[in-house]
């Protein structure tokens, strides 16, 4: 027995020691990297097929988990003094366990509901082959989970015994983005291509001689003889002929000549590339070949979430085999392909599976909010009722961005909506245990990191002890630190272009206006200084433009919109397709670039299509398009002044502030102060820009400031808070600290390795300087947190961003 144990230990130890764990991590990272490239070129399904859902990838994670367990016992981490290490290692095991539970027991889907309707079914995110057998009035349904992709082995074969009937199904080929093409062959048939307009644009169909086919609402007959109610096509004496028992118009596309084809005993010549219409349906005969066959080929190898795919299948029923093409896509029910043998009918489809929930959701109302002056969505929500007859429960909920409905282990997220805005799509996730196990793992991971920082046995503690010993020997480096701080702060100062143009607001007046308080769309009161920088970061991803401050740019856009329309300042990124549509070559586009000569929004249809897709179906292009559209809408709101809610409504119970006569509920608000100010101020400021005399507009800003304090009530922040927020904006504490801490970390890491490989190197002075820099950064960090706390009036850890900077502060401490 001991002999076998020794052999097992000899051969298994190399698989689970620390070195092996390192190898597994490297392989895991390499697999993730390769999968990223595969997903980019061939789609998510290919990455899942060849990496994420493979047995070897699962084995890799299992070996890594076992190696962690082995090392926990090997290094006796159960001891109290090693609890920090134990917590850290245990968290990894729990995270892997949570991932496994999600992988094998969790599932996702989409629920579609129309207003005043209810639903208790979702369509799965995973793909299935769905079978339905009908015989002698009996109906049998069953399904098989499948994953087909451009890459990987797509062989699949199963047999099913339904009663006394043997059904055998085999997938011969998988075709991503299938398209039909007409190919000339020596033994082919006369084939004609018919083009129609579909929901997603141009749709092409092929009809062969000897075939009768209904395409949408039109029946095409390419058989000998005349079929009533059909568009009859004939080919004889090398000529194409057409005949119908209904009058049709024929328009030659090249010349726009229109003729009418009346019903009668004879045929008319059929003209290719001409549009035919019967008053209801329109179609074009595109191409014709007298010796051809129709082949299905792949238009592109990458399978997107919205891509149509096709399976070439051999189906056998009781020994009789037929080849079928089965079309489908992810997230939607597939098109059934039917095979009849005797009294048995078999329908096969490829796509989503319908999953029944133990409760239902009723949609009362779908609410769409738009950017002012546009048809583009700024936010949307679903007013629903949860109905669970098992528990006699009927409860109303509102589902919107970052506000989910969580019930019975299911989580419902607002996803998308119908084009008529009378229906909603909810993303559904069912993974209660996997989610909570993963959360516990992440909590333990964080706890383990914190305990590692506090443990006296950790490397962090040992380094801090060494640094503490150097504190007493601080010297001249303090001067260096002060110079560094001054340099850091001065580097953020803006260089204003001295060559002022007629469209640029003077820096002194822009600074004065930046202290005016406004109300943002969430109701927060803040200085214009903050709003202008938020807008610039949204529009151009930076806080200045060609030496002009954000205050100068935004105020200039408001008072001189036409002149600023042509200034490139809206970031369009590196997406070639977007830049090609707009006709720009750089990373920035002007407002005018987004509109055609007739004022039409160039990206309108593309944006509408992107918003109509479910989030899971939106690719990089669609997401970038939505971001660009948001920037265009924000620019439009700046030009119109609707963002500048600087006029308080007197005695309003909700403390509403407005920018124009229109209130937040889109109903007129009688506010003469707003009318007078927004009518007079832009004109006065334009005159001030031309004359360089800002005395009158400065007086108007002072009067506005006094009016805000008199009528704004308790919501107006004190002047001290306004100044503190402006100071915080100018310091850019956390942005600068990110780079500062990053460089410090690299420096510490470099000198740590240097001390290991060259222990005789004298690093005492360098450690003094680095420690001083840490103290300096920590002081700067503390000041920033304090200012943020004072400005917001609450502890600065109420959201993800604030939590991150607070954890960074505690880590530095």
Region of poorest pLDDT, from 20-34, 200-214, 385-399, 794-808: 794-808
| Pair (706, 781) in one structural domain | no
pLDDT for residue 808:
77
770 is in which domain, residue-wise? 458-490+732-812
Residue 441 lies in a domain: no
| Pair (93, 215) in one structural domain | no
- Each residue of 373-414: pLDDT tens digit? 456 666 789 999 999 999 999 999 999 877 899 999 999 999
pLDDT for residue 144:
95
pLDDT for residue 4:
61
pLDDT for residue 456:
64
Structural domains in the chain (count): 5
pLDDT confidence tier of residue 140, bands split at 50, 70 and 90: very high
Question: Would you call 213 exposed, middle or buried from its count of C-beta atoms within 10 A (0-12, 13-18, 19+)?
Answer: middle
Alpha-carbon separation of residue 325 from 49, 302, 638 (angstroms): 22, 20, 54
What is the distance between the alpha carbons of residues 140 and 160, in angstroms, rounded to a whole number?
Answer: 12
* Cβ-Cβ contacts under 8 Å for 568 (sequence gap 6 or more): 584, 586, 588, 589, 590, 593
| Pair (508, 381) in one structural domain | no
Which domain-ending residue is among 351, 383, 404? 351
For 94, half-sphere exposure in the C-beta direction (CA atoms, 13 angstrom radius) is 20
Residue 168 lies in a domain: no
What is the distance between the alpha carbons of residues 764 and 768, in angstroms, rounded to a whole number?
Answer: 6
| Pair (596, 575) in one structural domain | yes
60, pLDDT greater than 90? yes
| Pair (712, 793) in one structural domain | no
> Which alpha helices (DSSP H) does 692-799 contain, by range?
695-711, 719-731, 733-757, 764-792
What is the distance between the alpha carbons of residues 349 and 345, in angstroms, rounded to a whole number?
Answer: 13
143, pLDDT greater than 80? yes
Pairing label, strands 548-549, 544-545: antiparallel
425, pLDDT greater than 50? yes
* Cβ-Cβ contacts under 8 Å for 279 (sequence gap 6 or more): 247
In our burial notation (b when 16+ CB lie closer than 10 A, e otherwise), range 510-532 reads: bebbbbbbbbeeeeebbbbbbbb
What value does the mean pLDDT take over residues 585-603? 90
| Pair (71, 114) in one structural domain | no
Closest by CA position to 319, among listed 294, 344, 350: 344
Residue 443 lies in a domain: no
In our burial notation (b when 16+ CB lie closer than 10 A, e otherwise), range 420-455 reads: eeebbbbbbbbbbebbebbebbeebbebbbbbbeeb
pLDDT for residue 589:
92
Residue 512 lies in a domain: yes
pLDDT confidence tier of residue 667, bands split at 50, 70 and 90: very low
Residue 201 zone, left/alpha/beta (φ > 0; ψ -120 to 50; rest): left
504, pLDDT greater than 70? yes
123, pLDDT greater than 80? yes
Residue 719 lies in a domain: yes
| Pair (419, 525) in one structural domain | no
Pairing label, strands 128-135, 344-351: antiparallel
Residue 630 lies in a domain: yes
488, pLDDT greater than 60? no
pLDDT confidence tier of residue 349, bands split at 50, 70 and 90: very high
Closest by CA position to 276, among listed 206, 203, 198, 194: 194
pTM reported for the whole predicted model: 0.63
pLDDT for residue 496:
34
| Pair (554, 603) in one structural domain | yes
| Pair (216, 298) in one structural domain | yes
What is the distance between the alpha carbons of residues 59 and 67, in angstroms, rounded to a whole number?
Answer: 12
Residue 396 lies in a domain: yes
Within 10 angstroms of residue 610's Cβ, the number of other Cβ atoms is: 19
pLDDT for residue 455:
65
| Pair (550, 653) in one structural domain | yes
Please give the radius of gyration of the chain, using alpha carbons only, rounded to the nearest integer: 35
Which domain-ending residue is among 326, 351, 376? 351
What is the distance between the alpha carbons of residues 80 and 82, in angstroms, rounded to a whole number?
Answer: 5
- Each residue of 492-502: pLDDT tens digit? 433 333 333 55
Residue 139 lies in a domain: no
| Pair (636, 718) in one structural domain | yes
Within 10 angstroms of residue 21's Cβ, the number of other Cβ atoms is: 21
pLDDT for residue 482:
44
In our burial notation (b when 16+ CB lie closer than 10 A, e otherwise), range 298-322 reads: beeebbbbbbbbbbbbebbbeeeee
What value does the mean pLDDT take over residues 422-440? 93
Which domain-ending residue is among 321, 351, 381? 351
| Pair (710, 751) in one structural domain | no
What value does the mean pLDDT take over residues 537-556? 90
Contacts by 710-716, CB closer than 8 A, 24 or more apart:
711/648, 711/650, 712/517, 712/648, 712/655, 712/657, 713/648, 713/655, 715/519, 715/525, 715/648, 715/655, 716/517, 716/525, 716/648
């Amino acid at each position: 027995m001991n002999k076998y144990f020794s052999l097992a230990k000899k051969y298994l130890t190399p698989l689970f020691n620390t070195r092996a764990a390192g190898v597994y991590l490297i392989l895991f990272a390499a697999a993730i990297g390769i999968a990223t490239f595969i997903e980019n070129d061939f789609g998510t399904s290919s990455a899942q097929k060849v990496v994420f859902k493979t047995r070897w990838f699962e084995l890799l994670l299992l070996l890594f988990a076992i190696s962690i367990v082995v090392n926990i016992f090997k290094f006796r981490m159960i001891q109290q003094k090693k609890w920090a290490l134990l917590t850290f290692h245990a968290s990894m095991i729990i995270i892997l366990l949570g991932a496994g539970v999600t992988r094998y027991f969790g599932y996702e889907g989409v629920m579609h509901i129309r207003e005043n309707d209810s639903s208790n079914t979702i369509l799965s995110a995973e793909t299935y082959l769905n079978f339905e057998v009908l015989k002698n009035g009996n109906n049998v349904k069953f399904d098989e989970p499948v994953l087909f992709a451009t890459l990987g082995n797509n062989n699949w074969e199963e047999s099913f015994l339904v009663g006394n009937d043997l059904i055998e199904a085999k997938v011969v080929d998988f075709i991503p983005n299938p398209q039909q093409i007409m190919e000339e062959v020596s033994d082919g048939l006369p084939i004609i291509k018919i083009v129609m307009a579909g929901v997603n644009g141009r749709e092409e169909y092929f009809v062969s001689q000897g075939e009768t086919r209904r395409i949408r609402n039109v029946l095409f007959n390419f058989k000998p003889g005349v079929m009533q109610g059909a568009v009859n096509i004939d080919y004889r004496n090398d000529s194409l002929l057409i005949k119908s028992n209904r009058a049709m118009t024929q328009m030659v596309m090249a010349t726009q000549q229109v003729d009418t084809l009346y019903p009668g005993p004879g045929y008319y010549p059929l003209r290719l590339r001409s549009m035919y219409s019967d008053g209801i349906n329109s179609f074009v005969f595109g191409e014709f070949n007298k010796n051809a066959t129709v082949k299905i080929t792949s238009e592109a190898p990458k399978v997107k979430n919205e891509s149509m795919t096709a399976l070439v299948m051999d189906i056998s029923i009781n020994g009789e085999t037929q080849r079928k093409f089965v079309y489908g896509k992810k997230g939607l029910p597939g098109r059934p392909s039917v095979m009849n043998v005797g009294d048995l009918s078999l329908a096969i489809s490829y796509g989503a599976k319908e999953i029944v929930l133990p409760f239902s959701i009723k949609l009362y109302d779908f609410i769409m909010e738009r950017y002012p002056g546009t048809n583009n969505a700024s936010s949307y929500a679903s007013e629903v009722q949860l109905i669970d007859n098992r528990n006699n429960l009927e409860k109303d909920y509102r589902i919107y961005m970052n506000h989910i409905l969580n019930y019975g282990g299911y989580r419902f997220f607002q996803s998308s909506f119908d084009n008529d805005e009378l229906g909603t799509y909810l993303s559904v996730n069912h993974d209660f245990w996997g989610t909570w196990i993963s959360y516990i793992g992440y909590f333990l991971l964080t706890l383990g990191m914190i305990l590692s920082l506090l443990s006296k046995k950790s490397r962090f503690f040992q380094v801090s002890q060494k640094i503490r010993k150097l504190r007493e020997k601080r010297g001249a480096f303090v001067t260096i630190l002060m110079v560094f701080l001054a340099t850091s702060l001065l580097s953020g100062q803006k260089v204003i272009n001295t060559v002022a143009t007629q469209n640029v607001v003077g820096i002194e007046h822009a600074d004065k206006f930046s202290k005016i308080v406004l109300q943002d769309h969430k109701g927060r009161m803040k200085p214009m200084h903050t709003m202008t920088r938020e807008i610039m970061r949204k529009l151009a991803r930076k806080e200045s433009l060609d030496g002009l401050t954000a205050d100068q740019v935004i105020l200039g856009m408001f008072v001189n919109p036409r002149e600023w329309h042509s200034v490139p300042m809206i970031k369009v990124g590196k997406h070639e397709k977007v830049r090609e549509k707009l006709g720009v070559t750089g990373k920035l586009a002007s407002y005018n670039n987004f509109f055609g000569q007739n004022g039409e929004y160039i990206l309108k249809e593309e944006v509408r299509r992107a918003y109509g897709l479910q989030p899971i179906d939106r690719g990089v292009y669609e997401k970038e398009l939505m971001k660009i559209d948001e920037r265009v809408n924000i620019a439009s709101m700046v030009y119109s002044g609707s963002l500048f809610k600087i006029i308080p409504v007197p005695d309003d119970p909700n403390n509403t502030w407005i920018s124009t006569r229109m209130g937040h509920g889109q109903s007129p608000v009688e506010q003469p102060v707003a009318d007078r100010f927004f009518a007079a101020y832009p004109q006065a400021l334009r005159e001030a820009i031309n004359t360089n005399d800002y005395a009158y507009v400065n007086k108007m800003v002072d009067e506005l400031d006094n009016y805000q304090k008199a009528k704004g009530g308790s919501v107006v922040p004190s002047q001290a808070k306004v100044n503190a927020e402006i100071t915080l904006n100018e310091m850019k504490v956390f942005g600068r600290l990110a780079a500062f801490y990053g460089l410090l970390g690299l420096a510490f890491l470099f000198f740590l390795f240097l001390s290991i490989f060259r222990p005789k190197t004298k690093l005492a002075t360098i450690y003094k300087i680095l420690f001083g820099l840490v103290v300096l950064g920590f002081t700067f960090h503390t000041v920033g947190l304090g200012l943020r706390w004072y400005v917001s009036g609450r502890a600065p850890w109420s959201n993800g961003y604030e939590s991150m900077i607070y954890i960074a502060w505690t880590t530095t401490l």
